[in-house]
Structure 1
């Protein structure tokens, strides 16, 4: 498959930032449980790269192998130019921010941030100065004397970030860092993490199962499925040009509709869904059965019948504040559609006609349909 590459802003790595390389890395537990299956990837220094996928896909195991908390069964792992495949976690210049924050409840905020510094060869005043700088960097100057229990969830997560940052690691790892926060805090803290990463030129590897979070913070996203890499690329590339049905549906949700490619002329395909016809990029496919992936917000809805449109009926309408969510029943099955028109919502039972925005549908292979 071919896709256009969305230009991304690159931040020059600073200080200690290093690249991460996996060369045919496999991780097997016991005799036959393959958690990561011969993956190869490169994370450039100064980039924030997200490992995204459903539970059990191998993303957390991959992160833990970078940290040295799990050892690869096969293959090589490099941080910068150093082969760290067999090095324990204590000998890798890597810091990790855990889902649970892992703060010491009996220690003050300043003591928590200072903890790792004391075991890294720093002394006295330098430990305190670095810890205070770290708290200022995450917006917690003046909070050093408080206990973790006196902070909000978002503030505790910032303490965990500060504790990792002050060690100035080659690679900073985040394992589902926002899963314990409510929606508003998640948005705020992810923006703070991204701002810090860009301003310091850090190499960050970030694990999440939240597609919106991955799209918002990443330079690149690596989508994992069944212990392998399904697709990787810039966020917009993955959203606009998924390679298969799994990626299309996992990144941002998509309606997957069976269609027929009637003909291909150059790089354009003429497709049909019942009586509906449209021309769109062929993406290397030839005439025959295929699948059309269409985002819920890129389907036009008109009341009544329209020439050339796809007839459907509203079966469910849900108001969710910023937009309406509709479940529509068409001849070929159900569709999920969103609409920004919240002032004149459609009622269940309404007959409608559907159309696709010209740039909205993406052709995919028909396998596994």
Structure 2
């Protein structure tokens, strides 16, 4: 993929005309929205309320079947809500068809016309929007420049890389100057290295133009990298809504902890709570953690693999374990330690650590490592 130079402002004098998209960016709000297909007793989306601030990129994240794509399609008007209210820019659009909603969508398959050139693909929606022929040409040229594809206009989609095809799809959506831009799994057809480059470009365009973007993915790393906020969905409902750091550092429950990155979920005991701080015991290990509404009694905590200390031999306030597996993966080491609480997965950036399979180790939990969670 021929990426645009990093750190440069892609809004040239011609493309700057499209900066008016910023002023059109609109908020999105769901109020108690439910979607049930046919006679099914199981909702695809169940009583969901959410808000997307104008000019922000919010990701709907979750496993297949959680309701995220149905939610996106209801914003687009491609699916109608069974109940509840959907607002775009404060306007009730719940019963409006897709053609009457000022949104554009970039599909997983890109949906480019193979018999049309790149320019013709970008112009396609404009031709049916009442623009003069000269303006259609100008807007298409500005859109291609914005995504770094000036000079590619006469090529056909088959002559482009996957990343370039994705950018054509983005340009086609942008030139319509939508209030809201929707992405449905936009990077799933790209290889890992290309995904990183394209997601950086999508984020750069979004922040430069101040676009309102709702982005669907099942890839937690992708969501963490591009989002202002992430809405994690599970079983047709919202499991947690927050910034990437909030979700990673303070997952609300076991599902979010395990889905946003990896986490060790361990049974523990809250021995006392005072001033919002809980005294927690995990075998011989004692910790003081934010209570997060937990009361005295059995509890669970989540500990990220990269926020666990591991050292050879035992030490005070550590959990005894034995290394069942040691794996070198280039940038870090991965350890699986057998303990009385089951296997604990730990990563360490110290690739020269002398720990070997079978070694007795002590596992410690730094003050900012584990968090108490609900089931």
1:226-245 Cα deviation digits (max 9, x unpaired): 11111101111111111111
Matched, 1:98 2:121: no
| 8 Å contact kept, 1:13–1:46 | no
Alignment of 1:91-170 (within 5 A): 91-170=100-179
Determine the structure 2 residue equivalent to 1:77: 86
Given the alignment, which residue of 52, 57, 72 partners 1:48?
A: 57
Structure 2 CA distance for partners of 1:338 and 1:53, relative to 1, 3 Å: same
Asked if 2 retains the 8 angstrom alpha-carbon contact of 1:13 and 1:45, the reply is no
Larger mean CA deviation between 75-84 and 44-53 belongs to 75-84
Kept after mapping to 2: 8 A contact 1:24/1:75: yes
- Conserved in 2, the CA contact under 8 Å of 1:296 and 1:338? yes
Equivalent residue for 1:359, pick from 368, 371, 375: 368
- RMSD of aligned residue pairs (Cα, Å): 1.3
In 2: Cα distance, 1:321 partner to 1:140 partner: 35
Measure the CA separation in 2 of the matches of 1:273 and 1:42: 38
Partner of 1:6: none
- What is the aligned partner in structure 2 of residue 16 from structure 1? 24
Equivalent in the alignment of 1:272: 281
Q: Distance in 2 between matches of 1:94 and 1:134?
A: 16
1:198-219: CA deviation from partner (whole Å, max 9, x where unpaired) = 1101000000011111111111
In the alignment, structure 1 residue 291 sits paired with structure 2 residue 300: yes
Structure 1 segment 3-42 matched on structure 2, within 5 A: 14-31=22-39, 32-42=41-51
1:225 counterpart residue number: 234
Bigger mean CA offset, 103-112 vs 317-326: 317-326
- Displacement of 1:50 in angstroms is 0.5
Aligned to 2:3: none
Q: 1:283 & 1:87 partners in 2: Cα distance?
A: 41
* Corresponding residue SS for 2:325: strand
CA separation in 1, counterparts of 2:354 and 2:254? 30
Instruction: Report the 3-state secondary structure (helix = DSSP H, G, I; strand = E; otherwise coil) of the residue aligned with 1:39.
Output: strand
CA distance in 2: counterparts of 1:165 and 1:55, whole angstroms: 28
d(CA) in 1 for partners of 2:356, 2:155: 53
Which consecutive residues of structure 1, in runs of 5 or more, have no partner in the other structure?
1-11
Give the drift of 1:186: 0.8
Partners of 2:364 and 2:70 in 1: CA distance: 43
Runs of 4+ in 1 over 6 A off after TM superposition: none
Q: Distance in 2 between matches of 1:149 and 1:195?
A: 26
Partners of 1:345 and 1:116 lie apart in 2 by 61
Contact preservation (8 Å) 2:21, 2:177: no
Q: How many residues align?
A: 355
Indicate the residue corresponding to 1:238 in structure 2.
247
Query: Is the CA contact 1:324–1:345 (under 8 Å) kept in the aligned structure 2?
Result: no
Task: Give unpaired runs (5+ residues) of structure 2.
Answer: 1-19
TM-superposed CA distance for 1:274, in Å, is 1.2
Corresponding residue of 2:97: 88
Of 340, 343, 347, the residue aligned with 1:338 is: 347
Q: What is the DSSP-based 3-state SS (H/G/I as helix, E as strand, rest coil) of the residue aligned with 2:262?
A: coil
Distance 2:130 2:263 in 1: 52
Which whole-Å deviations, capped at 9, do the CAs of 1:305-335 have from their partners, x for residues lacking one? 2222111111112222211121111111011
Report what 2:221 is aligned to.
212
> How far apart, CA to CA, are the structure 1 residues paired with 2:277 and 2:365?
16
